Structure 1
Amino acid sequence: MVAPDGVYYGGLDAESSVATIEDHFGGRIRAEYLRGYTDLFPPQQAAVAAVLGHFGPAGRNDYQVTETVREGEHWHIHITGRPPHPARIEVELQSRRSPPRQLTCRGPAAGSVIVYEPTSVRRT
């Protein structure tokens, strides 16, 4: 976790951790190792990661979630971007429960989580 930005990364090794933190402080958060932002709900975190994956790296505050709508297992997340990033983006997500698996390194039993998969990322 990078404080005070509240950005979580995961799946890093020694080499990728240095590059990821250098990118982070250079205003280039990439989707590859991003796990989320502490101030967003899980579907919003998935939407921001999808935007970064689709449009490329950006700074911590270059995208803001402006609206979140849930319709059953479907989510519509509206995001605004600062120039030079797209001004308005809509991300559609489908939620589903993952198969049981070990969730942490020392987890005593398999567990299941809700996964938010992007189905659409588009400028509006």
Structure 2
Amino acid sequence: MNQVADTPGLLLRPDDQRNAIEKLALAILTKTKATVGFVVDPTGSSGTSVAVQLALRDELRAKLPEKAATSWIDLVSKIDVPYDPLLATMLPVSTATNEGLAKVDASVRTMLQSVVLGQNDQ
């Protein structure tokens, strides 16, 4: 059985400074066969710059190398506003217009199928 967990955003800080919700989010990522959708807000309106968001992504990918290689999707949100060319390799999505959501759905389904097939091979 597969489940979806939408965790709150993590902040770039040492693990010993994380709050209970952040620790729960990390536990979900490390202890399950989760597919990770890492969403970058290119506007910085969350109070976190793109550079810091990318640093957090890199830190998480280093902690989760197996997921980074097989079940990780980088998304850039709010594509109806201009965004940094550094984000060009990410899947663009807009919840305002639904643009890109079908591609995300297809990518997640493909990853989940590979997880299920991998379980059947064991």
Q: Which structure has more helix as a fraction of its residues?
A: 2
Relative contact order, higher structure (CA 8 A, sep 6+): 2
Q: What TM-score do the two structures reach when normalised by structure 2?
A: 0.28
Q: What TM-score do the two structures reach when normalised by structure 1?
A: 0.28
